[in-house]
Structure 1
Amino acid sequence: MKLVGIVGSIAADSYNRKLMLYMANRFNNVADIEVLSIKDVPMFNEDDDQTNSMAVQYLKHRIENADGVIMATPEHNHTTTAALKSTIEWLSYKIHPLADKPVLVIGASYFTQGSSRAQLDLREILEAPGVNALVMPGNEFLLGNVREAFDEQDNLKDQATVKRLNDLLVQFTKWVTVLKALKGPEAPDAWKNEDLTASGKTDTTIEGVEMDDPKWVQKAAAKTHAAVGSDYVQLDSGVLTVDQINWLLKSIPAELTYVDENNQFIYYNHKNPATKMWAKRRPDQTGLPLSEVHPDIRNVHDHVKQVIHTLRTGKQDLFQLAEPVDKKNVKWVVNNYQAMHDEAGNFRGVNEIVLDFWPIVEKYLAMTGQKLVDDPANQVDTGASASVKADATPSPAPSVPAADTGASASVSADEQPAPSTPAPSATPSVDAGASASVDDDAPLPEIDTTASASVND
C-alpha cells in the first residue's frame, strides 16, 4: 500500500519528522510511506495565488497518487502549526486532493500530553467543508516526552510504543482498504481528468521557460545550468559525459521518446529528420504539452488521455502495437508505451519506443535456418496489447470512437506532430505472449490497429 507522510513542522531538527521517518523505515513491510516536506510551501494568501507553484503541485500529485495520508503534528499554543494549516489551505482552495482521502493523524511533543490538543485541532481542519478528508476516527498516537523517546540511531526505545504504533498502522491500512472497497471501482470516465496541457507542476518541471518556445531545450538548459558536452554525469551503473550519453542514445536502433508525469514532451533521441522517422518528431516540439504535440482530430486527445491514465493508475504497465508503415513492401514496426516509475514506485511518465523489428526476425531466421510460412487458419492480431494472466477475464474499458491516435500522423506535409499513441477501445484484446502483466481484474483497453506513427491524413 502506498502512503504519503506529511510532517507539520518545518524545523530543521524536528521530532515529528524523526517519528515519520522511523515509521517509513521500521514498518516498510506494512506500507510504503513516502515522507514529504512542506518547508517550501508559501504562506496562504488569496491575493497571491500560488496554487500552481511547484511546491503545492508536488504535494497535490503525491497525495492523489497515494492510497492514504499520515499527518504528524507538533503542538503550538494548543493548535497545529501555522505551516501545516497554510498547506491545507492551499490544498483546499482551488484544488482538493485531500477530499475523500483516508488520513491518519499522529503527533509528538516535548511534554506528557503528546500533541493531543493539536491533533484535535488538525482533525477539525481536515473534516471542514472544502477539505473533506476522511480522518480515521477513534484512534490516537500521542508520543509525549519526545526528547527521551529516541536512541542515538533515531529509533524508538520503548518496545511497547513500537508495537502500539505498528498496530495503529496495520489498522489504518485495513481501514484504507475497506474505504476503497466501499468507494467501488474507478468511474469509467475518470480518464477524462487527464490534463494534456501540462498546466501543473512536478518536482522536475523547469519553470521560467515557455513550453511553446522553439528554443526550449537551449533555454531550459541555461536556466538549470545543465551539464553539457564533456561534463560528467553520475548514473546508477556508470559515469558518462553528456556527449557519451547522447552518442549512446542515438546509436540505439529505435526511436525513444520521454513524456513526463505532467504530460510534457521533454525528450527524444532524434538522429534523423522527421520525414525519415517512423514516429515523426521535430526539435521545436520538445517542451510542448501533449495537447500541442498531438493534433486534436478524430478524438485523438480522448485516446491519449485514456492510454496515459491507464498507465498512470497502474491498470496496465505496457502497451504494444505492431503497425504497418509500408504496406506495399510489408514494412512493420512495433510501438511500445511503457509507464516509468522512480525508486519509490511513483509514476514518472511514459516512454515510447518505436522499433523496426524485421532485422531482428531476419537475423533469427538466418541463425536458426527457419522460415516464415503462411498459416491460412491463423487469425492475425495486428493490435497486440500488453498481456494479462491466462485465467484473467478483463472487464471492458470505456468505449471511444476508433481513430488514428498517432501523434506523428500529419495534418499536412509541413505540419507533422510528434510521438504516436495507441488508442484503447471498448473491448479488450489479450495477447498471451506479451510480457507486461496487470491485475487479474484490471480492464485492458484494446489497441486501435489503425493507429499509425507515420500515415498521413
Structure 2
Amino acid sequence: MKFVGIVGSNADQSYNRLLLKFIQRHFKIKCELEILEIKDVPLFNQDDDQSDSFSLRYLNNKIIRADGVIIATPEHNHTITPALKSTLEWLSYKLHPLENKPVMIVGASYYDQGTSRAQVHLRKILEAPGVNAYTLPGNEFLLGRAKEAFDNNGDITNQGTIDFLGSCLDNFIKYVEVVSQLKKPKPIEPEDLYCTKPIATTIQGVDPDDPDWLDKAANLVNAVEGDTYVKLDNGLLTVDQINMFLNAMPFELTYSDDNNQFLYYNNKHQEPNTMLGKRVREQVGNRLATVHDSLPAGRMKNVEWVVGSLRNGNEEYVRTVVPGTPPEIINTHNYQAMYYPDGSFAGINEIIFNFKPWLDWYLQMTGQHLVGGKVGPVAPSSDATSGASATVAGADVSADATSGASTH
C-alpha cells in the first residue's frame, strides 16, 4: 500500500519530519511511504493564483496517486502552522487531491499534550467543503516531549509508543481498504491514440508510421550512439553499454510517451515470433493506433482504458496474464505509469515476462506447491489487476498483449 506523508512544517529542523521518517523506515513492511515537503509552497492568495506552480502540481499529483495520506502536524499557538494551513488552502481552491482521500493525522510536540489541539483543528479543516477528506477517526497519535522521544539515530526510544503507533497505522490501513470501495475513478476521456497533439519531446518532420522512423528521426535530432557517454541519474554509461544492459534484462520492455507514441523496445536480437509480445523495428515511432490497428474495435477501447486509467491516476499499474498460452508459459504483462519531475503523467513502460520459471523456482526453494498440483493454462476470463495497491479492474485487457508491439 502506497502512502504519502506531508511534513506539516516548513522549518529545516522538524520533529514531525523525524516522525514521518521513522514511520517510513520502521514500518516499511506495512506500507510504502513517500515524504512530501511544503517548504516551497507559496502563501495562499487567491488574487495571485499559484495553482500551476511546480510545488503545488507536485503535491497534487503525488496525493492523487497515493492510497492514503499521513499528515504530521506541529502545534503552534494551539493550532497548525501557517505553512500547512496555506498548503491546504491551495489544495482546496482549484486543486482538490484530498477529496475522498483517506487521511491519518499524527503529530509531535515539545510539550506533554503532544499536538492535541492542532489535530482537532486539522480534522475540522480536512472535513471542510472543498477539502472533503476521509479522516481516520480516533487513533490520536500525540507524541509529547519530542526532544526526549528520539535517540541520535532518529528512532523512537519507548517501545510502548512504537507499538501504539503501529496499531494506529494498522487501523489506517484497514480504514483505507474500506474507504477505497467508495472511490470514484475519474472518467476516462477518449485517448488520442493517433498522436495529433505533439509534446515537447515529439520529433516532428518524420511521419510516425514511417517504417524507417527510427533512423530518420535519429538523424534529424543528431542522436548520439555507439561509445558516446550518457550521464544518468546514478551512473555514466555509453550508449552501447545502455543497449547491452537493457537487452540483457530477463524481460521484454517497451515504452510509449504521454503523446501515445511507441518509442522503444528491447531484446532486438530476438525473432518476433519467439517474443511474448511480438514487435518489429519498423513499429518504433508508430502511433499506438497504428501499433494496434489489427485489433477489433472493442479491443481498441481496452487499450484506451489502460492508457486513460494510468494517465488519470485511477491506477498506478495494470497487470494481466495473457490466456491461451502453453502450460509451461505464464505470459505476464505489467503496464506501469511513468512521471515527469512535477509528478504529471509521462507515459507507460511495459514489462513482459514468463512468470512460470520464477514461480517454479520459488516453489522449489520454499518446498511449497500450488493447490491442484501444477500450473495449467490461464483461464480466458482472467481479469487485469491494477491500482496503486492491488485491486481488480473492470476491463478485459488480457488479450490485447498478444497483438502489435504492446498494449499501451
* TM-score, scaled relative to structure 2: 0.63
**Structure 1 residue aligned with 2:92:** 92
**Structure 1 residue aligned with 2:106:** 106
Q: Is the 8 A contact 1:107 1:143 kept in 2?
A: yes
**Structure 2 residue aligned with 1:268:** 264
Structure 1 residues 107, 60: CA separation in 2 closer, same or farther (over 3 Å shift)?
A: same
Structure 1 residues 278, 444: CA separation in 2 closer, same or farther (over 3 Å shift)?
A: farther
* 1:337-416 correspondence runs (5 A): 338-340=334-336, 350-352=348-350
Q: Write the distance in 2 (CA, Å) between the matches of 1:303 and 1:354.
A: 18
Q: CA deviation at 1:22?
A: 0.7
Q: CA deviation at 1:59?
A: 2.3
Q: Write the distance in 2 (CA, Å) between the matches of 1:244 and 1:171.
A: 47
Q: Is the 8 A contact 2:191 2:307 kept in 1?
A: no
Report which of the two has the higher share of helix: 2
**Percent identical across equivalent pairs?**
42
**Structure 1 residue aligned with 2:200:** 210
* 1:287-306 correspondence runs (5 A): 302-306=301-305
**Structure 2 residue aligned with 1:429:** 380
Q: Write the distance in 2 (CA, Å) between the matches of 1:192 and 1:4.
A: 24
Q: CA deviation at 1:306?
A: 0.8
* 1:65-80 correspondence runs (5 A): 65-80=65-80
Q: CA deviation at 1:142?
A: 1.4
Q: Is the 8 A contact 2:126 2:132 kept in 1?
A: yes
**Structure 2 residue aligned with 1:206:** none
Q: Write the distance in 2 (CA, Å) between the matches of 1:239 and 1:269.
A: 21
Aligned length: 336
Q: CA deviation at 1:451?
A: 9.2
**Structure 1 residue aligned with 2:229:** 230
* 1:150-299 correspondence runs (5 A): 150-181=150-181, 183=182, 190=185, 192-193=187-188, 210-212=200-202, 214=204, 229-231=228-230, 233=232, 240-246=237-243, 257-259=254-256, 267-268=263-264, 277=280, 280-282=283-285
Q: Is the 8 A contact 2:107 2:114 kept in 1?
A: yes
Structure 1: any 5+ residue segments left out of the alignment? 199-208, 223-227, 323-334, 356-388, 391-427
Equivalent AA in structure 2 for residue 214 of structure 1: Q
Q: Write the distance in 2 (CA, Å) between the matches of 1:232 and 1:315.
A: 28
Structure 1 residues 120, 67: CA separation in 2 closer, same or farther (over 3 Å shift)?
A: same
Q: Any idea what the Cα deviations from partners look like across 1:285-343, whole Å, max 9, x if unmatched? A: 8xxxx899999x96898443312356772684146599xxxxxxxxxxxx98532379x
Q: Any idea what the Cα deviations from partners look like across 1:425-446, whole Å, max 9, x if unmatched? A: xxx93479x9x9x979654505
Q: Which has the higher contact order (CA 8 A, sep 6+)?
A: 2
Equivalent AA in structure 1 for residue 107 of structure 2: G
Structure 1 residues 62, 293: CA separation in 2 closer, same or farther (over 3 Å shift)?
A: farther
SS of match in other structure, 1:6: strand
Give me the CA root mean square deviation.
5.1
Q: CA deviation at 1:85?
A: 1.8
Structure 2: any 5+ residue segments left out of the alignment? 194-198, 206-216, 269-278, 325-330, 354-370, 373-378
**Structure 1 residue aligned with 2:40:** 40
Q: Is the 8 A contact 1:337 1:351 kept in 2?
A: no
Q: Write the distance in 2 (CA, Å) between the matches of 1:450 and 1:292.
A: 15
SS of match in other structure, 1:192: coil
Q: Any idea what the Cα deviations from partners look like across 1:64-83, whole Å, max 9, x if unmatched? A: 22222110011223221222
Structure 1 residues 126, 340: CA separation in 2 closer, same or farther (over 3 Å shift)?
A: same
Q: CA deviation at 1:156?
A: 0.9
Q: Any idea what the Cα deviations from partners look like across 1:63-113, whole Å, max 9, x if unmatched? A: 222222110011223221222222222222223221111111111112223
Q: Any idea what the Cα deviations from partners look like across 1:221-269, whole Å, max 9, x if unmatched? A: 99xxxxx92245476xx863234314665899x9954236x66658426
Q: CA deviation at 1:158?
A: 1.7
* TM-score, scaled relative to structure 1: 0.57
Q: CA deviation at 1:18?
A: 0.5
Q: CA deviation at 1:164?
A: 1.9
Q: Any idea what the Cα deviations from partners look like across 1:381-436, whole Å, max 9, x if unmatched? A: xxxxxxxx99xxxxxxxxxxxxxxxxxxxxxxxxxxxxxxxxxxxxx93479x9x9
**Structure 2 residue aligned with 1:3:** 3
SS of match in other structure, 1:317: strand
Equivalent AA in structure 2 for residue 245 of structure 1: I
Equivalent AA in structure 1 for residue 204 of structure 2: P
SS of match in other structure, 1:193: coil
**Structure 1 residue aligned with 2:315:** 313
Q: Is the 8 A contact 1:103 1:133 kept in 2?
A: yes
**Structure 2 residue aligned with 1:325:** none
Structure 1 residues 249, 169: CA separation in 2 closer, same or farther (over 3 Å shift)?
A: closer
Equivalent AA in structure 2 for residue 445 of structure 1: D
**Structure 1 residue aligned with 2:27:** 27
